[in-house]
DNA sequence: ATTGTTTTCTCAATCGTTTGCGGTTAATAT
DNA sequence: ATATTAACCGCAAACGATTGAGAAAACAAT
């Protein structure tokens, strides 16, 4: 096996006890400077690294965060994950990432794995079909706090960090109104998700309150392909064509943009476009798409902050949101 | 603290010894069926989960893989990471992901963290500036095998899994030749990376061997913005315009496509386009871009397979490659 | 020389699990 | 009744690190 250095080896080499070595390494005042120096030097020479298994068996908790993502290969989650990993490492935590694949059964399995691994806390994102929160509550009962992110339960009893969904939608609606749109095709995501509801409600309300005679057509797509098909279909109309296209997310924007290209319409001339996005998709089109930024990175940082607070000391359930801002492109 | 169930609690509740409980849970033949049943039932009722810290402290090794990525928020790595997580979990391993941010110092730090966490093996991707492989060798010396992926050292002494870079480039060149191109603008990545060299060499050779009078213009871009600027600049030429555009990677393709849109050229009419890609970017344009697929998923699976082999029993350094295939779109 | 006080270090228990070895029953054979 | 042999089960040590409590040394004070 690997001949890793342990406290014992150092202590034997130096002819002192294990506890002295341990304390010397942590600058415990009980240990004389002379011994401490000897110990630290040898430890460095031998590249001693404490065995996390042992440390955390003793300490009872492991500096580990569980991150449950719907899928890692997704435009939004990638930046979220990246941010979580960053912030967590800076706080001294490692991250264990598991994917639910939007599958209920696997979600439960993942939670079990988290428990087995004695994570200190869990960041979770529910699947569209999650209705039973018992597995999550079970974690809480075992003192493993859970913070939901992005796709969160409605229930106020849970910790949540969200993008400012309503605000983002309102911001987009404002831009649309200001542009003088009369006929808006708005594509939203899966109806069951609260993120969809929040964005939809705010969007619709803002548009209706704009007291302009704006026709609003709302469609729902659960993935990129559907958004593509749906948008293309609508854009094919010969008369009463939409003058503005709104996409609630990157997944949808990607599909809709493909449809726009195929339709032969030019933007912003023939149709105005605006979306809510993480930023990448809008930037690869020319002109760039105007969007309301919902940063996965910001959300990741917020989530880690919050879960660490919860770990340190139980918090009352809180619902936090990140800021959003309008990024102007040339599409509206 | 959390009142997690332990062997001890079960044993006390049942009035039997800890060892019996432990053995019963693993169907050890020494334990009578009756006791075993009692134990298992109580364990399930109490939702017993062995403490990984303790188990792996005892066993000496942890079922943990270290994954060092340049950055998690990248089109290719996201699918790679997702695949690694999947395969690893299926093999009973958890994955610890760390990001080097293409930064040498942080690379070393990450490796240290991996060692601290006693990972069983490491999947690594070197930064463009990595020249000193001592930290990696140190891991190997401690019996922690390292498999490099995608961006790998030239040295034959290391384990590597790569995309079939040369083959992918050749495949693309063949398509270009068959299309009868006379003037190809080809954009490649960072000159220092061996992945660039491999693709470039194969591409150039195939094109030159095609004994057609094909003009080949090669440019290098290190990121999406550069690719955009470079492509746009070239496409603005009034005369002697390229009839074909080749992009070596998704990062580049994204930038170049933006330039194509901006130039007002239509494809495949005005210019043919082909790239090497993971598949997402080509699919969001219409017509879809023809590309040679280099699957991050496939590479991830290969990498996990290989590292697990290495963990089970030391292997001679091996260089493996994934398959590639042509995915036909409408851009050429 | 005796006692008191620091300084410096060691002992031993502990976290939860695994496992070699030895011990106790009960069943079977002599 | 005694020896043999399974069938069950428990003891205790180990993995590596931490830590309270106490021991030993060093030094000063009486």
Q: What is the pLDDT of residue B1?
A: 40
Q: What CA–CA distance (Å, rounded) separates A323 from A29?
A: 46
Q: Please give the CATH architecture assigned to the domain spanning A165-293.
A: 3-Layer(aba) Sandwich (3.40)
Instruction: Determine the pLDDT at residue A103.
Output: 85
Asked if strand C contacts B8 at the CB level, meaning under 7 A, the answer is yes
CA distance A5 to B47: 36
Closest CA in chain B for residue A63: B117
Query: Within 7 Å: CB of A52 and strand C?
Result: no
The DSSP-derived string for A240-286 is S--SEEEESSHHHHHHHHHHHHHHT--TTTT-EEEEEE-SHHHHTSS
Which candidate, B76, B124, B79, places its Cα nearest to that of B97? B124
CB contact under 8 A, B4 and A142: yes
For CATH 3.40.50.2300, the residue range(s) in chain A are 62-163+297-323, 165-293
**Tokens matching residue B96:** 């610890």
Q: Exposed (0-12), middle (13-18) or buried (19+): which is A287, by Cβ within 10 Å?
A: middle
Q: Which of A8, A94, A82, A10 lies closest to A46, judged by CA?
A: A10
pLDDT in tens, A71-122: 766 667 778 988 999 999 888 888 888 888 888 888 988 898 888 888 899 9
Average pLDDT for chain A: 91
Q: Are B165 and B198 in contact (CB under 8 A)?
A: yes
Cβ(A162)–Cβ(A125) below 8 Å:
no
Report residue B202 as tokens: 């194969």
pLDDT confidence of B155, banded at 50, 70, 90? confident
CATH class of the domain whose range is A62-163+297-323: alpha beta
CA-wise closest residue to B284 among B331, B242, B244: B331
Q: Is the pLDDT of residue A128 over 90?
A: no
- Selected for mutation to probe chain A from B91, B97, B256 (highest A CB count within 10 Å) is B97
Chain D bases closer than 7 angstroms to a protein Cβ: 7-12, 14-22
Q: Are A95 and A85 in contact (CB under 8 A)?
A: yes
Place of tokens 């796709």: A151
And the tokens for B194? 């061996």
Asked if the bond preceding B268 is cis, omega within 30° of 0, the reply is: yes
Predicted local confidence at residue A314, as pLDDT? 82
State the DSSP code for B223.
S
Nearest-CA distance A108 → chain B (Å): 14
Burial state string for B268-295 with b = 16 or more CB within 10 A and e = fewer than 16: beebbbbbbbbbbbbbbbbbbbbbbbbb
Yes or no: say if A187 and A220 are a contact pair by the CB < 8 Å rule: yes
Mean pLDDT of A173-197: 93
Evaluate whether A100 touches A68 at the Cβ level (below 8 Å): yes
Q: If you search the block for the tokens 């010894």, which residue do you land on? A: B17
- A259 token code pair: 């449809």
Mutate to test the interface with A, among B6, B44, B52, B144 (most CBs of A within 10 A): B52
Bigger pLDDT: A2 vs B262: B262
**B265 pLDDT above the threshold of 90:** yes
Span A10-40, pLDDT tens digits: 999 999 999 999 999 999 999 999 999 999 9
Distance between B171 CA and the closest CA of chain A, angstroms:
26
Positions in chain C where some atom is under 7 Å from a protein CB:
7-12, 14-22
Strand A325-327 and strand A290-293: the pairing is antiparallel
Which nucleotide's C1' is closest to A59 (Cα)?
Answer: C15
Minimal Cβ distance to A51: which of B81, B94, B118: B118
Q: Do A97 and B97 touch (CB under 8 A)?
A: yes
Q: Would you tell me which residues have their CB within 7 A of strand D?
A: A 4, 6-8, 18-19, 22-23, 25-26, 30, 48, 50-51, 54-55, 57-59; B 15-20, 29-36, 54, 57-58, 60
Find residues 240-299 of chain B whose CB sits inside 8 Å of chain A: 254-255, 257-259, 261-262, 281, 283-287, 296
pLDDT, position A174: 96
- Residue partners of A59: CB distance under 8 A and separation at least 6: none
CA atoms of B221 and B239, how far apart (whole Å):
23
CB-CB under 8 Å, B261 with A286: yes
Asked if residues A289 and A275 have their Cβ atoms less than 8 Å apart, the reply is yes
Do residue B115 and residue A49 have CB atoms under 8 angstroms apart? yes
| Number of Cα atoms under 13 Å in the Cβ half of residue B34 | 2
Query: What burial letters (b/e) apply to B48-71, b meaning 16+ CB within 10 Å?
Result: bbbbbbbebbeeebbbbbbbbbbb
Q: What is the pLDDT of residue B154?
A: 84
Residue B285: phi and psi, rounded to 5, are -105, 160
Inter-residue contact A150 to A162 (CB < 8 Å):
yes
Evaluate whether B180 touches B147 at the Cβ level (below 8 Å).
Answer: no
Measured CA B69 to C1' D24 distance, in angstroms: 53
- How far, in whole angstroms, is CA A228 from its chain's centroid? 25
Give the residue nearest to nucleotide D12 (CA to C1'): B19
Percent of chain A at pLDDT above 70? 98
Nucleotide with C1' nearest the B48 CA = C16
pLDDT of B73 over the 70 cut = no
Q: Which two tokens stand for residue B299?
A: 């590479």
Cis peptide before A243 (omega within 30 of 0): no
The Å distance, CA of A39 to C1' of C5, is 27
Res B126: pLDDT: 87
* N-term to C-term CA, chain A: 64
Residue A83 pLDDT: 93
Structure tokens at A282: 């809008």
Give CA separation, A251 vs A204, A322, B114, B295, in Å: 20, 20, 34, 20
- Give chain A positions within 8 Å (CB) of B98: 85, 89
Specify whether the CB–CB gap between B172 and B245 falls below 8 A. Answer: no
Q: How many CB pairs under 8 A join A and B?
A: 135
- pLDDT bin (cut points 50, 70, 90) of residue A1 is very low
Residue A184 CB-density burial (10 A; 0-12 exposed, 13-18 middle, 19+ buried): buried
As a whole number of angstroms, the distance between CA B199 and CA B210 comes to 17
pLDDT digits (tens, 9 = 90+) for B7-61: 999 999 999 999 999 999 999 989 999 999 999 999 999 989 898 889 989 987 7
Per-position DSSP letters for B151-213, written without gaps between them: S--S-TTSEEEE--HHHHHHHHHHHHHHTT-SEEEEEE--TTSHHHHHHHHHHHHHHHHT-S-
pLDDT of residue A3: 66
Share of chain B above pLDDT 70, in %: 98
Averaged pLDDT, B109-118: 86
The total number of residues written for chain B in this structure: 332
Task: Tell me which residue of A3, A4, A5 sits closest to A25, measured CA to CA.
Answer: A5
On whether the CB atoms of residues A121 and A307 are closer than 8 A, the answer is yes
């Amino acid at each position: 096996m690997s001949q890793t250095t342990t406290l014992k080896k150092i202590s034997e080499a130096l002819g002192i006890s294990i506890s002295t070595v341990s304390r010397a390494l942590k600058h415990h005042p009980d240990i004389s400077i002379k011994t401490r120096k000897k110990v630290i030097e040898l430890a460095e020479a031998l590249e001693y690294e404490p065995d996390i298994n042992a440390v955390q068996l003793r300490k009872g908790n492991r500096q580990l965060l569980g991150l449950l993502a719907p899928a890692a290969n997704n435009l939004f989650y990638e930046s979220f994950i990246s941010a979580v990993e960053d912030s967590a490492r800076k706080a001294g935590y490692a991250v264990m990432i598991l994917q639910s694949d939007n599958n209920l059964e696997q979600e439960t399995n993942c939670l079990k794995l988290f428990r087995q691994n004695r994570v200190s806390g869990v960041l979770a994102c529910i699947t569209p079909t999650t209705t039973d929160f018992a597995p999550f509550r079970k974690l809480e009962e075992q003192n493993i706090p859970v913070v939901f992110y992005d796709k969160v339960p409605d229930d106020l009893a849970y910790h949540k960090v969200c993008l400012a969904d309503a605000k983002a939608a309102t911001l987009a609606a404002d831009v649309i109104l200001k542009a003088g749109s009369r006929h808006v095709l708005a594509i939203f995501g899966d109806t069951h998700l609260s993120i969809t509801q929040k964005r939809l409600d705010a969007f619709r309300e803002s548009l209706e309150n704009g007291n302009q005679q704006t026709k609003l057509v709302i469609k729902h797509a659960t993935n990129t392909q559907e958004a593509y098909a749906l948008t293309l279909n609508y854009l094919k109309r010969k008369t009463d064509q939409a003058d503005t296209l709104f996409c609630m997310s990157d997944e949808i924007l990607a599909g809709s943009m493909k449809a726009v290209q195929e339709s032969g319409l030019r933007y912003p001339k023939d149709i105005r476009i605006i979306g809510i996005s993480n930023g990448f998709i809008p930037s690869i089109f020319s002109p760039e798409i105007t969007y309301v930024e919902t940063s996965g990175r910001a959300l990741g940082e917020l989530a880690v902050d919050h879960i660490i607070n919860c770990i340190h000391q139980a918090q009352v359930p809180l619902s936090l949101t990140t800021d959003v801002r309008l990024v102007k492109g040339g599409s509206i």
